[in-house]
Amino acid sequence: MIRDSQKTNQTALSHLDSDGDITMVDVSGKTPTTREACAFGQVVFPADIYQQIKAADGMTKKGSITQTAHIAGIMAAKRTHDLIPLCHPLPLDKIGLTFEYDDRQNSITVTATVKVTHKTGVEMEALTAVSVACLTIYDMTKAISHDIIINNIHLMNKTGGKSDYQHA
């Protein structure tokens, strides 16, 4: 429960009711529409480690880092409601992940696109997919180095629902 002194300007948040109490958003009155969200993340390596990973085409003793991260990202998107307390469970129509080597930044970029026809959006599912895929890449490569940085995780765009969004 939020104290009265903490309620100022917080009722505009979708997961707080007019009394400032936590609530799951009621989507029962909404019309299902097609909604899509795309999120981005980056795993940055020391230059020598990045070159080693790229030269091996992402293969480690544990297997392919991108194939494993791909599966992990899909599984994570499907389980977002189990991880984020107020997310609705959604029957996802599409989950796509891409992985690209970026020689300029010694990184692997991860992009996740999630699509659903429902009453609520899939931003959290896209962000969860990217986050877990990046964490999986870290897990697959930490035996080589712990000097790995996961950064720049953000929503790129979303369509459907009340409004569309495009990251500037």
Pick the more confident residue, 2 or 124. 124
Tens-place pLDDT, residues 65-78 = 999 999 999 999 99
Whole-angstrom distance, CA of residue 43 vs CA of residue 99: 10
What is the model's pTM?
0.88
Catalytic residue among 82, 139, 147, 164: 139
Q: How would residue 8 be classed by pLDDT, with cut points 50, 70 and 90?
A: very low
Beta-sheet pairing, 149-159 with 107-118: unpaired
Assign residue 128 the CATH number of its domain: 3.30.70.640
Whole-angstrom distance, CA of residue 134 vs CA of residue 131: 5
Reference 37, options 167, 168, 149, 148; nearest CA is 167
pLDDT of residue 34: 97
Q: Is residue 36 part of a domain?
A: yes
Could you give the count of Cα atoms lying within 13 Å of 56 in the half-sphere of its Cβ?
16
Q: Is residue 19 part of a domain?
A: no
| Whether residue 99 has pLDDT greater than 90 | yes
Q: Is 139 a catalytic residue?
A: yes
Tally of structural domains, the chain: 1
Kindly report the number of other CB atoms within 10 A of residue 31's CB atom.
Answer: 6
Mean pLDDT of 108-119: 97
Residue ranges making up the domain that contains 79:
32-163
**Matching residue, tokens 């505009």:** 12
pLDDT of residue 72: 98
